[in-house]
Amino acid sequence: MSSPLPLQHVNVKLIASEGAPVDLEPLIPIFHGWIRDRVFEEMLLDVADYRHVHQGPGLMVIGLQGNYSVDNADGRLGVRYNRKALLDGTNSDRLKQAARAALTCFQRLEAEASLAGALKFGGRELEVLINDRALAPNNDATRIAAQPEFHAFFGKLFAGADYTLAHETEPRRLFAARVKSAKSFSVGEMLANLES
Amino acid sequence: MKSSNALWKEKLASKMPEILAREIDGFDTDIALRKQGKMDERVFAETRLRRGAYGQRYDNGQRYDGKNFQEMKYPSGELTKGPSTMWDAPGMQRIKIPGGGLNADQLETMAELAEEYSDDIAHVTTRQDFQLHYIHIDDTPTVMRRLAAAGITTREACGNSVRNITACPYAGVCQDEVFDVTPYSRAMAKFLLGHPDCQNFGRKFKPAFSGCAQHACGLTSLHDIGFIAVTRREGGVEKRGFQTFVGGGLGAVPYMAKLFDDFVPVEEIMPLTQAVARVFARLGEKKNRSRARIKFLVQDLGIEKFRELVLEERKTLTPDPRWTDFVGPAEQFSESPLKPGGTWPANASGRFAQWLKTNTRPQKDEGFVTVTVALPLGDITANQLRALADIVRRYTKETIRTTVEQNFAIRWVSKSDLAAMHAALEAAGLGDPGAGAIVDIVTCPGTDTCKLGISSSRGLAGELHKRLAEKSFELDESVQHLHIKISGCFNSCGQHHVADLGFYGVSRKVGGFAVPHFQVVLGGEWEHNGGSYGLPVVAIPSKNIPQVVTRLTERYVAGRTGGETFKDFVKRIGKVELKKTLEDLAKPPADPNDRSFFSDWGDPREYTLGDMGVGECAGEVVSSVEFDLAAAERELFDAQVAFEAGNADKAGKTAYQSMVRAAKALVKINRQTISDRADDIIQAFRTDFYDTQKFWDPFAGGKFANYLFDAQAKSTLPYTADSSRYLIDEAQLFIDAAHACYNKMGTAVGA
């Protein structure tokens, strides 16, 4: 049975650990290298540099199926995956795909020697956004409809650990949930949780 | 592609003007027909372009990764949306904003579209449009529907049509204007949109309106048709009209618009424009796109003959009520403030004081100012657009416009609200000072997204912005107000010709490798609606351009006399002297291991490794060709010096000789004993490089070679100031193309 709320175009943003401001310039050659070496199954097309914009999308790898970015929206630095292409399957499959993509991206960045550990996952916080206002308007009905699948998903992602969930309340903005786990996880642990 | 496209179609069906809804439905059908192979790719390309859906870089299905060209295998396979334009490749959507006028709801719509279909960024262009990048063609009808529901159309935003009608963003509030041009520009936009007489142009047609002659805001000099507000007394009554210009345009070779009529009554501007459009459609070039703009028609016919033809055409027009319907309401048109006028903030300091100095402009109504919101590189995020919508609702009656300097102008701000408004803008990251100053750099998209980009204009602009922002208010006052404008190629979308410091992208070969460069263009004038065009001085590697800015501004500060403008300073010092100031920066890096020059700003890929020539034989030819091309550039520089000295004939002849020399440089590769006779060289060039298309530009085709052939055909005629001026620009482009051709030959050798 299809869900009454089809969660397409899922975005997942993993919030980086707080610390000194991260210089995004070293990411430029890394992202170009990803395109050259075709590191993801998805088709990567180009690098977009928006470092000059206040609390903007930072540095992005533009892909055909999805974009990857080190994003500074709302002044919260993090690694974001924005699924653009339609994805078959259930809502749970789509949430999982976006989370896996963001986690894999972050894992690669944490392992980048040229960044020298400057960019680390904070271990607890992430945001899930649905980038389609027609499918998921930012209102109470969407929140209620999404709740069971969100809780199932976060329960799995955090391996049963407690977490808090707060929805974006500004109605003009995308439907979004900010989630914070009581327990800290590494990127690798979260990936393992997803696949368990 | 979004899964919600069908939902939007249903949801917005009753919320769009019927005509727009029908047109967008038609575009949906065109998409379906193209997918079924029932519409030719060229026809579909023009169809989408006329709806503002452009191609973008790498949409031909390959991308250079710094080492190799990689094929991009899109899911739709061989399906194209135009010649060599793959269906799935992301594209750009241009959105027309007549006169730059918006309301808060429209800002919010733009935010939603930037978020959902683009990359969270809306880009303001130098013609007051918006552009959204990385959009899938299948999503464009929904984007158009959502815009239409907000009262915005993308129709004729591109293609061979009437483009966005621009107007001074201070119209109605400017202290120096003759009258408010807003209602006239809006009426013109409405009248010409989809007009049957505007559907058969060989190229685009850009109108502009200005409220005065002295400021830059309308840039009428560089438009196909330009209107400057004027009045005159008739029978004791003040009558409104427009000083009307035609045939201006930037592009590869900039043309200054010619005066068509000192005073066209407001009742006549519609039929006159209609007549101009009909003459352009009938007599304008159609096959040779490089000579298809109206500026060439005006130049070829002469303004007198062109005027005669237009006035004859005017007599044949069937009267249309829309010619005059707007006149009465236009004279009554006015905007009003939300709040009462106030007083200037007392004791301002720090960034707020700087912002007040550069980002506010007095209005003719006491107690109000217009606030400029400076956008770095013309970019704004979705969240910032929403914040801006809130701000214009809170402090004004949503009186906001985009500007040709890629900013926003918020009109009717009470002086008493300035502190609060600045605080609100600061909170949104939109409170930077420096609007209209040296730090407020204008740039086209360049190699970031444009298919025609040669050098990274945005990369350079970002770097200059970063460096200048740190010290802009410590710079000498005379330097703070200079204009920097950058284009990624010769096509001038960054309006480099009318900057104090203009730059446009070219490539040069250094040690067998292509190196991104920018031509330095000096002597342009921004004021007086783009009053004069600069000329190229020297090509400098991209990575040295920040030093160019430093040197030229320091030289200006040190050598300026009295209140001398930068343009006058350039004229007095002369290009020979200024070129000497920069000459060492034009040289390749001393250290052969320094690879930084071989990549562009913000892009670490080796610039054109794929163009590298290999083998000793090629290497020897390299030296000879490069040497000869350098000699051609020197000769062209002599032509510029002669032009500056007022010797048009010598300038024209020398420019032509420089083209012949550059052609010979290439011809000699295969015909080492070619004679020095121009006709022999050009014939050989035609055979070896034009007929074989080796000299052809991927997008401009044979345009630059045709400059040489035209110059040859006219070489026995005396040169005028205009013709020598144009020839100098054409010669520069021809020499740039010779460099590019030679670079391409290096690839062939290496392949």
| Predicted local distance difference test score (pLDDT) of residue B746 | 63
What is the arithmetic mean of pLDDT over B593-606?
Answer: 86
B379 vs A32, A52, A133: nearest CB: A52
The verdict on B1 touching A (C-beta cutoff 8 Å) is: yes
Distance CA B48, CA B600 (A): 32
All structural domains of chain B, each given as residue ranges with its CATH number in brackets, are 5-149 (no CATH), 174-332 (3.30.413.10), 350-427 (3.30.70.3340), 442-750 (3.30.413.10)
Q: Is residue A2 part of a domain?
A: no
Q: What is the pLDDT of residue A3?
A: 60
* Facing B108 at nearest CB: one of A67, A132, A172: A172
Residue A3 covered by a domain? no
pLDDT tops 80 at residue B35: yes
How would residue B624 be classed by pLDDT, with cut points 50, 70 and 90? low
Q: Touching check for A26 and chain B: CB below 8 Å?
A: no
Mean pLDDT across B25-40: 91
Q: What is the percent of chain B with per-residue pLDDT over 70, rounded to a whole number? A: 96
- Tell me which chain B residues have a C-beta less than 8 angstroms from the C-beta of A56: 120-121, 379, 381, 384
In a domain, A113, yes or no: yes
Whole-number pLDDT of residue B674 = 86
* Closest chain B residue to the Cα of A49, Cα to Cα: B602
**Which of A:132-161 have CB within 8 Å of B?**
132-135
> Is the Cβ pair A74, B88 closer than 8 Å?
no
Q: How confident is the model at residue B608 (pLDDT cuts 50, 70, 90)?
A: low
Residue B290 banded pLDDT, cuts 50, 70, 90: confident
Percentage of chain B with pLDDT > 90?
Answer: 75
**Whether B681 contacts B271, CB under 8 Å:** no
Per-residue pLDDT tens for B407-435? 999 999 999 999 999 999 999 999 999 99
pLDDT of residue B751: 25
Contact call for A173 and B386, based on CB within 8 A: yes
Of A42, A123, A85, which is closest to residue B117 (Cα–Cα)?
A85
**SS3 at position B693:** coil
A39 close contact with B: CB closer than 8 A: no
Domain for residue A126, yes or no?
A: yes
- Residue B622 confidence (pLDDT): 38
In a domain, A176, yes or no: yes
How far does the CA of residue A141 sit from the closest CA of chain B (Å)? 17
Question: Scanning every residue of chain B, which has its alpha carbon at the shortest distance from the alpha carbon of A61?
Answer: B119
Judged by average pLDDT, the poorest of B38-47, B99-108, B165-174, B482-491 is: B38-47
Quickly state the pLDDT bin for B451 (edges 50, 70, 90). Answer: confident
pLDDT class of B224 with cuts at 50, 70, 90: very high
Task: Look at A56-70, B537-551, B639-653 and tell me which has the smallest mean pLDDT.
Answer: B639-653
Identify the helix (H) or strand (E) that includes residue B460. helix B457-471
Q: Is residue B162 helix, strand or coil? A: strand
Is A178 inside a domain boundary?
A: yes
**A4 CB neighbour count, 10 Å cutoff:** 7
Question: Which tens digits make up the pLDDT trace of A77-130?
Answer: 999 999 999 999 999 999 999 999 999 999 999 999 999 899 999 999 999 999
Interface of B with A in 375-394 (CB under 8 A): 376-377, 379-381, 383-384, 386
When pLDDT is cut at 50, 70 and 90, the band that residue B302 belongs to is very high
Q: Do A64 and B88 touch (CB under 8 A)?
A: yes
**Residue in chain A lying closest to B466 (CA):** A52
For residue B138, give how far its alpha carbon lies from the nearest alpha carbon of chain A (Å). Answer: 11
Edge-to-edge strand list for the sheet holding A66-71? A44-50, A58-63, A66-71, A78-83, A10-16, A121-130, A175-181, A163-167
pLDDT range class, residue A22, cuts 50, 70, 90: confident
CA distance A114 to chain B (A): 14
DSSP H helical segments within B593-647, as ranges? 616-644
Residue B289 is predicted with a pLDDT of 77
| A3 in reach of chain B (CB within 8 A) | no
Q: Are B42 and B51 in contact (CB under 8 A)?
A: no
Considering only CA atoms, give the Rg of chain B. Answer: 26
pLDDT tier at B43 (50, 70, 90 boundaries)?
confident
Binned at pLDDT 50, 70 and 90, residue B666 comes out as: very high
Question: For residue range B119-175, what is the model confidence (pLDDT) as tens digits?
Answer: 999 999 999 999 999 999 999 999 999 999 999 999 999 989 999 999 999 999 999
A123 in contact with B, Cβ within 8 Å: no
Do strands B501-510 and B513-522 pair parallel, antiparallel, or not at all (unpaired)?
antiparallel
Q: How many residue pairs from chains A and B have C-beta atoms closer than 8 A? A: 123
Higher-confidence residue of B47 and B230: namely B230
- Does A56 sit within 8 Å of B121, measured CB to CB? yes
Cα–Cα dist A62/A47, whole Å? 6
Token couple for B195 = 């007009």
Whether the Cβ atoms of residue A44 and residue A38 lie closer than 8 Å to each other:
yes
Q: What pLDDT does B750 receive?
A: 27
Burial class (CB in 10 A: 0-12, 13-18, 19+), B671: middle
What does the pLDDT read at residue A121? 96
User: How far does the CA of residue A133 sit from the closest CA of chain B (Å)?
Assistant: 8
Number of domains in chain A: 1
- Residue A87, chain B, CB below 8 Å: the answer is no
- Nearest by CB: B120 against A51, A56, A133: A56
From A57, which residue of chain B is nearest by alpha-carbon distance? Answer: B120
B75 reaches A (C-beta below 8 A): yes
Q: What is the pLDDT of residues A128-144, one digit of tens each?
A: 999 999 999 999 999 99
pLDDT score, position B748: 41
Q: How confident is the model at residue A14 (pLDDT cuts 50, 70, 90)?
A: very high
Instruction: Note the pLDDT of residue B175.
Output: 94
> What is the extent of the structural domain holding A94?
10-195
Among A38, A53, A87, most B C-beta atoms within 10 A, so best to mutate, is A53
Q: Do A48 and B57 touch (CB under 8 A)?
A: no
A5 assigned to some structural domain? no
Q: Mutating which of B1, B2, B68 best tests the A interface, going by the most A Cβ atoms within 10 A?
A: B2
- Does residue A114 belong to the interface with chain B, where contact is any CB pair within 8 Å? no
The two tokens of residue B402 are 């985009």
Higher-pLDDT residue of B200 and A37 is: A37
CA distance A89 to chain B (A): 14
The ipTM, to two decimals, is 0.97
Q: Residue A1 pLDDT > 80, yes or no? A: no
Query: Is the minimum CB–CB distance between B339 and chain A shorter than 8 Å?
Result: no
Task: Name which of A43, A47, A64, A91 to mutate to probe chain B: the one with the most chain B Cβ atoms within 10 A of its Cβ.
Answer: A64
In the predicted structure, residue A195 carries a pLDDT above the cut 70:
yes
Tokens 């009209």 label which residue? B241
User: In angstroms, what separates the C-alpha of B1 from chain A's closest C-alpha?
Assistant: 6
Mean pLDDT value across residues B80-84? 92
- Tell me if residue B50 falls in helix, strand or coil: coil
- Name every chain B residue with its beta carbon within 8 A of the beta carbon of A29: 604
Mean pLDDT over B481-507 rounds to: 94
Checking if the pLDDT of B445 tops 80, the result is yes
What's the per-residue H, E or C state across B705-736?
HHHHHHHHHCCCCCCCHHHHHHHHHHHHHHHH
Encoded tokens for B376: 């770095």
A75 touches chain B (CB under 8 A): no
For residue range B379-409, list pLDDT tens digits in order.
999 999 999 999 999 999 999 999 999 999 9
Triad B86, B117, A142: Cα angle to 5°? 140
Q: Could you read off the pLDDT of A48-80 as tens digits, one per residue?
A: 999 999 999 999 999 999 999 999 999 999 999
Closest CA to A84 of A99, A68, A72, A108: A68
Measured CA to CA in angstroms, residue B355 lies from A128, B352, B518, B547 at distances of 37, 5, 31, 27
Query: In this structure, are residues B435 and B579 in contact, taking their beta carbons and an 8 Å threshold?
Result: no
Contact with chain A for residue B7, Cβ under 8 A? yes
Cβ–Cβ under 8 Å, residues B429 and B386: no
Answer whether A119 touches B (CB < 8 Å).
no
> Is residue A70 in some structural domain?
yes
Look at phi and psi of residue B678 and say left if phi exceeds 0, alpha if psi is from -120 to 50, else beta.
alpha
What are the φ and ψ backbone dihedral angles of B717, each rounded to 5 degrees? -90, 155
Instruction: Identify the pLDDT of residue B609.
Output: 35
User: Residue B403 has which token pair?
Assistant: 């500007």
Chain A nearest CA to B120, separation (Å): 7
How many residues make up chain A in this entry? 196
Rg over alpha carbons for chain A, rounded to the nearest Å, is: 16
Arithmetic mean of pLDDT, B657-670:
92
Residue B472 has what pLDDT?
78
